Structure 1
Amino acid sequence: MPFSRRRFLRHSALATTTLIAAPTVFRSGAFGAENPIIVGSLHDQSGPIAASGTPMVYALQLAVNEINAGGGLLGRPLKVIHYDTQSNIQMYSQFAQQLAVKDKVDVVHGGITSASREAVRPTFDRFKVLYFYNVLYEGGVCDRNTFCTGTTPAQTVEKLVPSAMKKAGKKAYIIAADYNYGQITAKWMTKYVKDNGGEVLSTDFFPLDVTNFGTTISKIQAAKPDLILSALVGGNHTAFYRQWTSAGMKGKIPIASTTFGLVNEPTTLDAAESDSILGSYGYFEELTTPASKSFVEKIKKAHPDSPYVSELAACTYEGVMLWAAGVNKAASIDRMKVIAALEDSVAFDGPSGKVSLDKATHHTTRNAFLAEVKDRKWSVLESYSDVKPADTASVCDLVKNPNDTKQYIINL
């Protein structure tokens, strides 16, 4: 990890918390004694997923600062109650209940892994607390109380796989994290490989704590694929790319990934280890639009040690702003009124471009981008406008079934 916990605490306005500590409370602006609107935040700022959670907290903080600087919502300030979930599912469960029951928040933005989302989502359903999950994931969540602002496979993997196959060939080898995201994303990868006339030679899954990929690299060498498709997750799995280069394989078999670069991989790895890896996301820090450049500059000015500003940060910022637009449109903080307002064509022009909420799925229609690592930075190759969450739309219709609360495994 490219930053220490001590340095992070020094530069961040949001200190982490522990099971026995009080939550971090953040509030900006001068409002006097007005009753605040309370925003809950559940993000990992320590543990293996911290490098993903830290920029998400920075982005949430930026959005709240901007809303409060503009007069708040409904004339009231926003106050954030934040818990560091420390990459621990037990803490997600505990803090979710605390936000709902003790802190009585009006909305929660949080969760990173799919496991963390599914640990907290039933709690927020039960206690009727509006929930935003601002992370790319495998798709299929269908819950009127939940809004998912990150990309799904139909928005990014569908672009990435055929582009990689066109560059490399038809035979793919899949490596992925061994939990919901990796398992289901591997199925989408397999679908898109087959849809484009290719075959998958093997699919290997790895727990998040795995750091030794020697045996796997030997298997890949023996299989002789044209292409590696990676859905590895977290700092431990970054070891694969180093070991792949050490084995003399870099440049021999191209790699395309749905997760590489979400944190600091292009800058923490040598150029020899990361160059030419393909990725597809709903946002890249390197986008040159005025909105993107301003977003990145604000975060890095406030937090000079900020890790890479990825889709995770952009979608968190956009998620808070979409929620705020819903509150303003509803002219109320009442949960059901806000949900109804969010379903009524709410959109926001953010760092990734225009983001609009889909009424039937509570997911976003948004831009997607294809990029390649060059000299430790992403070079954006293609842009795709207004891409719909077609995968989730195939199983979820909250207009017809407003009481649905499932995550569907999409039949491929």
Structure 2
Amino acid sequence: MSDVTRRKFLGSAGMATAGLVASPAVLRLTALGAEAPILVGSLHDQSGALGTSGQPMVLSVELAVDEINAAGGLLGRPLKIVSYDPQSNIQLYSQYAQQLALKDKVAVVHGGITSASREAIRPVFDRFKTLYFYNTLYEGGVCDRNEFCLGTTPAQTVEKLVPNAMGKSGKKAYIIAADYNYGQITAKWMTKYCQDNGGTVLATEFFPLDVTNFGPTISKIQAAKPDLILSALVGGNHTAFYRQWTAAGMKGQIPIASTTFGLVNEPSTLDAKESEGIMGAYGYFQELTTPASKAYIDKLHAKYGQGIPYVSELACATYEGVHIWAEGVRKAGTIDRMKVIEALEGGISYDGPSGTVTVDKPTHHAIRSAYLATVHDKLWDVTGSYPNQKPLDTAAVCDLVKNPNDNQQYVVKI
């Protein structure tokens, strides 16, 4: 991100010290005598190790709110964003979650990137009855009527990625993953899909988010001689693996397929030779050429400039999440939390940049498209699409129709 674009972003995105963010559309509605604004919470990392991932998520919240306000707001009222930057710090996540619920009294919160951040703030919003949208791809299993999870889960993406990658390389895999619930559980799904397709996992290694030295692991991989590396590494620090892998002369010798590569803009920030050929699967890629996708990217670039970070599933699902929540409010005719939840459970769909996204009533997850892609010349080349993928992993353990008071994250037995 250029200095000019970053200044523009920080000035408009609403850091913790900036308080409320009012768009021109909000000001127009207020000037016309609209009622008090409906407050929408945004809790995304704008700095720290995950800042590059969180910045486009914040911009997507702003874009969606501007669009809703330009169309007349909701229930005759404008929307106003309350945005905080937890700075990739779990303690700040908890602090700002309480502030959004108790002081700001927002109608809804869209927030969280890592599963650790989600599990820090989810109990806060449950306790204080604040509707929560987690719009991030994750390992699956959350069953909570107060929360809607609109990102992809392993049954939607990993189930496609692993056999596709194995078909191009071979049956022996080596897994490297972040050492917290996302990496640990995703590694189990990688193992399942590898074995389901006749493969073998030679070893699995986990790394804390602050690890930057992967030399010993690269030596282990060289000794193990796998056909494929499956990566669920997370954040800017773990990007070092791909640089060190290339520096060790391993690039091109053993293919890499990842459930996270690209979420911190790696194809753009790494040298072309370091990212070339890496495979991924997500619910959205910026390179999708559908009219809805192109319009979304064009609007972001027109509003914030070409220098914003890569627009991944994280940002797209956030944009779609705001619009889906708005559809729930329109259908409910109120911002009352339970009435909006009941309206969303009616199977609301939204045609967004990623395709049609539908709320799955029993799980509060999304039925959505998944896409396969490979990095070529620092861009994603989308090679496969799978529409209307259900969150079957979470559906195996969560049924909020039968058990509406369920409130936990299950680890699916694999």
Q: What's the TM-score bracket when you normalise by the shorter of the two chains?
A: over 0.9
Which amino acid is 2:316 matched to?
A
Give the distance between the partners of 2:302 and 2:378, measured in 1 at CA: 21
Question: Which aligned pairs between 1:265-284 and structure 2 lie closer than 5 A?
Answer: 265-284=266-285
1:183 aligns with 2:184: yes
Give the distance between the partners of 1:62 and 1:10, measured in 2 at CA: 14
Give the distance between the partners of 1:362 and 1:219, measured in 2 at CA: 41
Which SS does the other structure have where 2:195 is aligned?
Answer: helix
Residue pair 1:16, 1:45 contacting (<8 A) in 2 also: no
Which SS does the other structure have where 1:14 is aligned?
Answer: helix
Question: Which aligned pairs between 1:391-410 and structure 2 lie closer than 5 A?
Answer: 391-410=393-412
1:189-231 Cα deviation digits (max 9, x unpaired): 0000000001000001111111111000000000000000000
1:17 aligns with 2:25: no
Give the distance between the partners of 2:142 and 2:7, measured in 1 at CA: 34
Question: Which aligned pairs between 1:114-129 and structure 2 lie closer than 5 A?
Answer: 114-129=115-130
Give the distance between the partners of 1:200 and 1:237, measured in 2 at CA: 21
TM-score by length of 2: 0.97
Question: Which aligned pairs between 1:275-354 and structure 2 lie closer than 5 A?
Answer: 275-304=276-305, 305-354=307-356
Work out which of the residue numbers 380, 383, 395 in structure 1 matches 2:385: 383
Question: Which aligned pairs between 1:102-251 and structure 2 lie closer than 5 A?
Answer: 102-251=103-252
Give the distance between the partners of 2:397 and 2:115, measured in 1 at CA: 18
1:259 is matched with 260
Q: CA deviation at 1:7?
A: 4.7
Residue pair 1:38, 1:80 contacting (<8 A) in 2 also: yes
1:86-140 Cα deviation digits (max 9, x unpaired): 0000000000001101101110000000010011111111111100000000000
Which amino acid is 2:221 matched to?
I
Residue pair 1:214, 1:243 contacting (<8 A) in 2 also: yes
Q: CA deviation at 1:300?
A: 1.4
Which amino acid is 1:346 matched to?
I
Which amino acid is 1:333 matched to?
I
1:322-347 Cα deviation digits (max 9, x unpaired): 00000001111111110000000100
1:162-199 Cα deviation digits (max 9, x unpaired): 00000000000000011110010000000000000010
1:8 is matched with 6
Q: CA deviation at 1:271?
A: 1.3
Residue pair 2:13, 2:58 contacting (<8 A) in 1 also: no
2:67 is matched with 66
Q: CA RMSD in A?
A: 1.2
Which SS does the other structure have where 1:395 is aligned?
Answer: coil
Which amino acid is 1:317 matched to?
Y
Q: CA deviation at 1:24?
A: 4.0
Give the distance between the partners of 2:89 and 2:79, measured in 1 at CA: 27
Give the distance between the partners of 1:165 and 1:11, measured in 2 at CA: 41
Which of 268-277 and 385-394 deviates more? 268-277
Give the distance between the partners of 1:404 and 1:92, measured in 2 at CA: 24
Residue pair 2:145, 2:404 contacting (<8 A) in 1 also: yes
Q: CA deviation at 1:28?
A: 3.9
Give the distance between the partners of 2:123 and 2:393, measured in 1 at CA: 22
Give the distance between the partners of 2:383 and 2:312, measured in 1 at CA: 16
Give the distance between the partners of 1:260 and 1:369, measured in 2 at CA: 14
Q: Which consecutive unaligned segments of at least 5 residues does structure 1 have?
A: none
Residue pair 1:287, 1:380 contacting (<8 A) in 2 also: yes
Give the distance between the partners of 2:236 and 2:93, measured in 1 at CA: 20
TM-score by length of 1: 0.97
Residue pair 2:14, 2:82 contacting (<8 A) in 1 also: no
Residue pair 1:314, 1:351 contacting (<8 A) in 2 also: yes
2:365 is matched with 363
Give the distance between the partners of 1:329 and 1:7, measured in 2 at CA: 37
How many aligned residue pairs are there?
A: 408
Residue pair 2:93, 2:117 contacting (<8 A) in 1 also: yes
Percent identity over the alignment?
Answer: 70
Give the distance between the partners of 1:384 and 1:314, measured in 2 at CA: 17
Give the distance between the partners of 2:258 and 2:274, measured in 1 at CA: 14
1:57 aligns with 2:58: yes
Residue pair 1:46, 1:84 contacting (<8 A) in 2 also: yes
Residue pair 2:13, 2:59 contacting (<8 A) in 1 also: no
